[in-house]
Structure 1
C-alpha cells in the first residue's frame, strides 16, 4: 500500500489499532488471534531519522546485499551483511525491490498518489554507480512486485494486479481475466500467486485479505484468510513472503502473521511497530527481515 495512504489511515484509526488491535481470521472476525509461540526479534538496520527513513520495501541481490526502498527519501539504499550502508540509488517514491532472472534489480517507482504515473526501473546492483533505466511505465501507484519461475513480473497497482513479460510488455489476456480489488503485496509460489488486498466488503466491514490466484488461470481466485483488527477497525495487510511452506504477512497494526496457505489458519508471530515488508534473511535460515514505517529493519526469528 502506498505509504502516503497509510499515513491517512493512521490519522483515522492508527492509534487505536496499535494499542488495542488483535487479529482474527475471516471465520472469526474480531476474535483474538493466537500467538504462534515465542519469537525473537532484534534490530538488523537502525533508522537514522524516524519516518523519513520509512522502509517501504526491500530486496536482495546475488551477493546477499539488502536494498531498502526509502520511499520518503526517494532512494534505494544498499546495506551489506553487517548492516552497513554501502550505496544509494535515486528512485522516485520507490516500492518493491526484486531481483530479476537477468541479475538486475527491478524497483517499483511512483508509489505515491503525488507521483502521477508510475512504473518499474531496473539497474545492475553490482555496478560501481548503478543507473536506473525504465523497464515499464504507465501504472497508477504501483507498489508490490514478484517474479515467477518463467521470468514474468507481477505488479500490484491502484487498479489491480498486472503481469509483465520479460521484455516489459503487459500480458493483456492475463489482465482481462484477473479481478483483484485493493491489491498491495504479491508473491509467487509454483502456480499460486498470493496477493494481499485491502478493501471494504459488501457487508461494510473493512477487510485485509490474503488471496490466491492461479498463475495459469487468474480468474480462479480464492480467499486464503481475512485478517481484521479489533471490532470494526481495519488492520491493513501489506507485504508477504513464502517461507517453509507458510505465508508471512505484515500489517499496519504491527503484526507479523503466519498463515497456512492450505487451511487459512493464522497465528501472530510478533506484535511490534507498524510493519511494511518482509523477506527471508539470506544470512540466517531461521530468520525473516521485516521493514517498518519508522524505518528500522527488524530481524525476526519465528518459533517454527
Structure 2
C-alpha cells in the first residue's frame, strides 16, 4: 500500500534515465482484457485481492474501505462484510470462505484470518486465527491446511487456526502465495524486489529462487500470483501481468495495463483469469493461446 506507492515513484523516476537491459522480460503474445467490475472511487476502492466461490460469486477485498464485497455473475453487489484491512479471500475445503485481515503496516502483528459462510444473505465473520504480521496472500494446500504469506514469510495454519510450528518459510516482505501440487510458490519484495520463489511443502527451508522480475532493466515490484495452465502468472506494480515458467524461470509479459494486485481463476470460465487492481476495477483477462 503506502510502500508500493513509494516504490512505484522510485521506479518511474529511474525509468526516465535507465537504458532497457537486454535481459528484461520479453513480451509474449498479448492477452485480451475486459472490465468485469468497473472502478469506483479512486484510492478508496482499491481492490487488494479476490476469489470466486462455489456458486460463482466474486469476492473482492477493498482494503481501504475495510470491506470484503460479494458480487454476483451480473456484477451486482450482493453483500458487504466489515473486515479490518482485508487481504486474500480463499474458499476452504469445508465450504467456508477464509479472508486474511490486518494487511496494513499499522496493524503490526495483530493480523489474522476470519471465516464466514459465503452462501449467507448477510455473512457474519468469525475469528479463525490471530497473531500474524501483515498477512497478504493465502492459499489452501492439498492437505486442506491454509498457507499464508506475511511480512516475515509464509506460515501454515492448522485446522483449529493455530500456527504449525514445524512449517514456515523465512522470506522478508512475502506477498503472494500459490500452492501447486507439492510446492508453494511465493512472491516477495525484500532485499530483492520482484522475487518469485518456490518452497517444497515437505521441506520449506529448502526454498529457492525461480525468477526476479524486471521491467526495462529495473526491478518490478511483484504482488500476488496464481498457478494457471501449468505456469505462474504474477501481478506487478507497474501494471504488467508476467508469465513465469516454474521449471526454467523464463519470464515474459503478457499484458501491460494499470497496476495489478492479485489474480484468480474462474471455474465458470476456465480460459480466463480475474485480476484486481489498485484503481479498483476487476479485469477479466484471456491469455493468448
**Do structure 1's residue 67 and structure 2's residue 65 form an aligned pair?**
no
- Find the aligned partners of 2:22 and 2:132 in 1 and give their Cα distance: 35
* Root mean square deviation, CA, Å: 1.9
**Do structure 1's residue 267 and structure 2's residue 259 form an aligned pair?**
no
| Secondary structure in 1 matching 2:270 | coil
Please list the CA deviations of residues 23-66 of structure 1 after superposition, one character each: whole Å capped at 9, or x if unmatched. Answer: 9xxxxx76332221032111111012122110100112110101
Map 1:53-132 onto structure 2 (within 5 A). 53-116=45-108, 117-132=110-125
Residue number in structure 2 paired with 1:9: 7
| Secondary structure in 2 matching 1:82 | coil
Unpaired segments of 5 or more residues in structure 1?
A: 24-28, 201-205
TM-score calculated relative to the size of structure 2: 0.94
Please list the CA deviations of residues 232-252 of structure 1 after superposition, one character each: whole Å capped at 9, or x if unmatched. Answer: x43111111111111100000
Which of 172, 179, 190 is residue 188 of structure 1 equivalent to?
179
Unpaired segments of 5 or more residues in structure 2?
A: none
Residue number in structure 1 paired with 2:213: 227
TM-score calculated relative to the size of structure 1: 0.89
1:14–1:49: structure 2 CA closer, same or farther, 3 Å change rule?
A: farther
Map 1:1-304 onto structure 2 (within 5 A). 3-14=1-12, 31-116=23-108, 117-175=110-168, 178-200=169-191, 206-231=192-217, 233-304=218-289
Q: Given that residues 260 and 266 in structure 1 are in contact (C-alpha distance below 8 angstroms), is that contact kept between their aligned partners in structure 2?
A: yes
| Secondary structure in 2 matching 1:12 | helix
1:32–1:234: structure 2 CA closer, same or farther, 3 Å change rule?
A: closer
Shift of 1:4: 2.9
Q: Given that residues 122 and 132 in structure 1 are in contact (C-alpha distance below 8 angstroms), is that contact kept between their aligned partners in structure 2?
A: yes
Q: 30-39 or 55-64, which moves further after superposition?
A: 30-39
Q: Given that residues 19 and 216 in structure 2 are in contact (C-alpha distance below 8 angstroms), is that contact kept between their aligned partners in structure 1?
A: yes
